[in-house]
């Protein structure tokens, strides 16, 4: 009974995540979730009292996955290695559980829309942005980046790239994610505009 109950609970959570990714939180009704999970509405209510409860559980799970990736990356020394480990960890997460990455991006969009504030959603966004800000500040302190670098602006740029890569990996082409990640690290490492090439201008 215990194993069956846990399997049903997990099935409902997976179904809710799929519906939210496809339709957005606002359109992810209990009826649609129950239909996707193949259970009755009373069964769904037995496991989860509200749609909000379902969403919070999914958000907390996503937060823990991202936090694990960030913690692993922060153990490294040097900006390049920290970025590389974080990108690799997120890439491995996408390979093993694409649904979580898709949900993360969807939750970020929902958070931006501001239709419903959530502490768990705040934690997800804060973890990503906080990770990037902390490693950029460290890089400035260690002389890897110039002292006049705007740490917040660089962190915001890296976070924007993170969410863009998440969207690409989750919704566009997961197979290209590795190549995109490698190119991103190369751009960060050597600088996209280090070598200036004079463009010819036709009159």
Its domain, for residue 11, covers: 1-49
Residues 71 and 41 in one domain: no
Residue 71 shares a structural domain with residue 155: yes
Same domain, 63 and 161: yes
79 and 174 in a single domain? The answer is yes
CATH number at residue 94: 1.10.357.10
Residue 14 confidence (pLDDT):
94
Residues 144-190: tens digit of each pLDDT? 888 888 999 999 999 998 888 888 777 777 666 677 777 777 777 77
HSE on the CB side for 145, CA within 13 Å?
20
Stretch 121-134: mean pLDDT? 90
What pLDDT is recorded for position 175? 66
Q: Are 21 and 99 in contact (CB under 8 A)?
A: yes
Number of domains present in the structure of the chain: 2
pLDDT, position 123: 87
- pLDDT reported for residue 152: 94
How far is it, in rounded angstroms, from Cα 111 to Cα 8?
28
**Residue 147 burial by Cβ neighbours in a 10 Å radius (0-12, 13-18, 19+):** exposed
Average pLDDT in the 39-54 region?
A: 93
CATH number of the domain encompassing residue 18: 1.10.10.60
> Which tokens in the block code for residue 56?
């919070």
113 in Cβ contact with 185 (< 8 Å): no
């Amino acid at each position: 009974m215990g194993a069956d109950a846990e399997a049903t609970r997990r099935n409902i959570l997976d179904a809710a995540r799929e519906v939210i990714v496809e339709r957005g939180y606002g359109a992810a009704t209990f009826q649609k979730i129950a239909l996707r999970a193949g259970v009755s509405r009373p069964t769904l209510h037995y496991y989860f009292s509200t749609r909000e409860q379902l969403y919070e559980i999914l958000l907390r799970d996503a937060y823990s996955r991202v936090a694990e990736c960030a913690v692993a990356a922060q153990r490294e020394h040097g900006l390049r290695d920290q970025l590389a480990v974080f990108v690799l960890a997120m890439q491995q997460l996408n390979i093993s559980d694409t649904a979580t990455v898709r949900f993360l991006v969807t939750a970020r969009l929902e958070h931006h829309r501001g239709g419903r504030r959530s502490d768990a959603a705040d934690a997800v966004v804060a973890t990503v942005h906080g990770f990037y800000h902390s490693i950029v500040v460290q890089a400035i302190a260690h002389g890897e980046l110039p002292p006049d670098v705007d740490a917040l602006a660089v962190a915001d740029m890296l976070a924007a790239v993170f969410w863009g890569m998440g969207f690409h990996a989750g919704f566009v082409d997961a197979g290209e994610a590795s190549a995109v990640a490698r190119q991103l690290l190369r751009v960060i490492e050597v600088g996209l505009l280090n070598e200036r090439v004079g463009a010819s201008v036709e009159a």
